[in-house]
Chains A and B, each alone.
Chain A
């Protein structure tokens, strides 16, 4: 199956979702997204970090230095309260949008 390019602006939402399931380091975020998408999403690895910094700058996620599974120093990101609200709002918006687009695409000539 071919990989899908990430839609513009959805990376932030995916990151929020990924860290909402538990604190992760940057590489972990990448793995988690790939895992839950069934390896179908193509993310340019480097672009993950500016997004993480942006989200932290906005106060939606927070970071802490800790130890990784292989006992190395790594920076772990976790969701903040305002990040949780943001994720909720984004999900809501996304669902509305998706159902709207889906209904538009389902439209048949008779319905017009």
Chain B
């Protein structure tokens, strides 16, 4: 068949429908008149000829209809009719339309907003050249339970040259750096990689050039590439920035290029985006000589060779690891089972927030379900009212399919209006919504409403339209002619058939509401528990501030080199802090609780290998702990309980025997039976380092996050083990905002080149650490509340409708002696029974799916009995109230009035 020709003719009709209609008319009239003229010529009178012509032509309208049908545009014309009919109905029932469009706008809007985040974060490919070939490389020691351990330069070289699976690999150092030499001293996020970092990602500079092999230096290259943001902020977008010198941690670096506006480093940074990019060879000064066992590199990414699948590459890497273990038995102790693992880069970037986003997406989809069930119910009530209209039309010859189509067109019209309102809402409020999304969600800057999002929103609108349109449409198709006309005449609408359909809708609505409420209950309980969780210290009246002393590549430019110089700085800093009026106590730490999220950052908290006296390193026990450097008053400022032994003193300094304080977790893990006091530990595996003696045990401090326990920590004296990351903690009744200028002044009086950042109260910090949990709990909780509201409206509406329809029956019953209580009971029972079935169904579904949320919960089991008890009871109570109101109205029916009206 000639498909293009058909399509052309069809399209002609769609586009030129009006003109073609009139042409059709002209053509038919021409025929009639020509024939009539011929008949006149045969001797008929003009009037008789016209009559005869019409008779012989047949029904003009039905032929026209057949003509339209021939070119496949009849339904198009009917669609126009249905649409205008639907619009008229919507205008007539303003209340219904407003409720439906508003709830739909909310449902579709929420879906659009959440999906735009899911799309940007989880679905869209990373914005690099051929992103599917980019992988994150991990080194693991499964034999001792370690993942993501550091690696050495020779191991990096093996990946590059020996493995044969990578086009390129680069180690990654992330961290905060002090930037001087631009407009003003700043603390910026920096990234150091290899010289192929940019070519591997496939970036081209905005101006200047990026690193290449010609820049090679064994240590760090004296050049830097800066981000578009820094270029604009610090240099006013000056094109002559190339060749200028900026100082990063005191090292002079020449700017050689500016990155394009949208570029982002593919990894977590401590705060904000990376802005200064350096490159190095990782084998010369300041790096130690490249030895296989000198594992100084913390994180790596690579680009697979084209045509290689992840599994193939993984297999070759596993084989290479086995070969290396065999070749260098001293560097790879047998029990560690050293292994190399690769993961798609995208997954490693967004893996953490994936469960949260999926739960949110699930919640908004449930909401839109509930919204459409609610509308279906309203529509069904209306359809019952329209039964008579339908029956009459059927009797006059309309086909049932035609009527189903009309009902569906009306629903679609409604859902598309609601959908458009929803999309408009989402577009208008997306920026506002994003402000509440916790900043630990990566790629948020890429969130926008694009075609994929719009397509999703349209799909959701159409699906909801189908969902809530199908019930009344099918219902209208099943209208039994005679009974409908008769029933219609009597003004009753609650026939058994519609009744059952509406019951099913209410039951499913309640079931969905239960699922949402259980989800919300579990998340809110988790959040509540975390808020009440004892962090192991007293966070009220504690203010913290941070600075970073810089890590110059050239040791000669480091004013804080060596332990004594650093200790002098620490002591001076504390003296000045304590002198600020209103500050009772001051201390220093290398890590403020719950702030150290990026273990790959320079100065970030990292689980370190540990040796324990009398315990062979070769033992398969996983010996590791996090090391935190503190000043003597740290535990006093935090008011942490010292369980045994002593705290640090000013005397625990350089030259004295190294001492350590451990927390309960460490004590329980490594000395479950014996006394840890006086025992000795050593960080790293350098046997020439001195042992550190345990002098005290404190209660656990939740240093890694309120929802993380059991990580062993070992505290050491900052005077013996200096740290470039310096955070001050102050016990004071003054607010952070009031103290900030003084803290800044005092720190910069010691060294004007030091940046001061993140001055805030400890309570705010703890609060912020829960931001993402709070966000999802609040959001799902809000949706659950909305679901309950919608479900109770549904029950109320159904019963109120029933009462209205059955008022005659009620009147009759009462006239025959039924008491008001009996009447009340009939309707209450109906409402509560429906709710009961829905709740049971919802509980069953929740119970079987709750475990999918396990990764979002803390301290609460997915089948938490309290949640599973409270939610049904709460919903049942709401359902009872929603049923009681219409049921009471039933008892107010005046029997005389109801009977007379009938």
Query: CB within 8 Å of B: which residues of A?
Result: 25-27, 30, 44-47, 49-51, 53-54, 56-60, 65, 68, 70, 72-75, 82
Contact = CB atoms under 8 A, between A and B. Distances in A.
Interface string B540-570: 0000000000000000000000000000000
B9 A82 contact: no
A46 B9 contact: no
Contacts of A68: 30, 34
Contact of A50 (B10, B31, B33, B69): B69
25 contacts: A25-B27, A25-B30, A26-B27, A26-B31, A30-B31, A45-B56, A45-B58, A46-B57, A46-B59, A47-B58, A47-B63, A50-B66, A50-B67, A53-B70, A53-B71, A54-B70, A56-B71, A57-B70, A58-B2, A59-B4, A59-B9, A65-B23, A73-B30, A82-B2, A82-B5
Interface string B42-80: 000000000000001111101100110111100000000
A72 B26 CA distance: 11
A79 to B, nearest CB: 14
Contacts of B67: 49-50, 53
A60 B28 CA distance: 21
Interface residues of B, number: 30
B635 interface: no
B6 interface: yes
A45 B31 contact: yes
A36 B37 CA distance: 21
Contacts of B62: 46
B30 A50 contact: no
B96 interface: no
Contacts of B10: 57
B35 interface: yes
B738 interface: no
Contacts of A58: 1-2, 5-6
Nearest to A72: B30
B57 A59 contact: no
Contacts of A65: 23
A45 B57 CA distance: 5
Interface in B11-32: 23, 26-28, 30-31
B60 A46 contact: yes
A46 B6 contact: no
A57 B58 contact: no
Minimum-distance CB pairs A-B, first 10 = A59-B5, A46-B58, A50-B66, A59-B2, A54-B70, A46-B63, A53-B70, A57-B71, A27-B34, A53-B67
Contacts, number: 79
Contacts of B31: 26-27, 30, 45, 49
Interface string B843-883: 00000000000000000000000000000000000000000
A73 B34 CA distance: 12
Residue of A25, A53, A68 with highest tally of chain B CB at under 10 A? A53
A61 B632 CA distance: 99
A50 B57 contact: no
A11 to B, nearest CB: 12
A3 to B, nearest CB: 13
B435 to A, nearest CB: 56
A46 to B, nearest CB: 4
Given A27-B34, A47-B58, A49-B28, A56 B9 contact: yes
B3 to A, nearest CB: 9
Given A27-B35, A50-B67, A50-B70, 13 more contacts: A25-B30, A26-B27, A27-B30, A45-B31, A45-B58, A51-B70, A53-B70, A57-B10, A57-B72, A59-B2, A59-B4, A60-B2, A74-B30
B63 A57 contact: no
A50 B63 contact: yes
Contacts of A70: 34, 37
Interface string B279-311: 000000000000000000000000000000000
Given A57-B10, A68-B30, A44 B58 contact: yes
Contacts of A75: 23, 26-27, 30
Nearest to A80: B5
Nearest to A43: B56
Contacts of B70: 50-51, 53-54, 57
Contact of A49 (B4, B27, B35): B27
B407 to A, nearest CB: 28
Residue of B4, B30, B37 with highest tally of chain A CB at under 10 A? B30
B58 to A, nearest CB: 4
Contacts of B35: 27, 45
Nearest to B27: A75
Contacts of B56: 44-45
Contacts of B1: 58
Nearest to B33: A72
A59 B6 contact: yes
Contacts of A26: 27, 30-31
A46 B29 CA distance: 11
A42 B235 CA distance: 92
A46 B35 CA distance: 12
Contacts of A54: 70-71
A10 to B, nearest CB: 17
Residue of B2, B6, B33 with highest tally of chain A CB at under 10 A? B2
Contacts of A60: 2
A47 B59 CA distance: 10
Contacts of A57: 5-6, 9-10, 70-72
A61 B1 CA distance: 14
B38 to A, nearest CB: 8
A65 B24 CA distance: 12
A70 B36 CA distance: 13
B32 to A, nearest CB: 9
A31 B63 CA distance: 19
Residue of A56, A60, A68 with highest tally of chain B CB at under 10 A? A56
B620 to A, nearest CB: 80
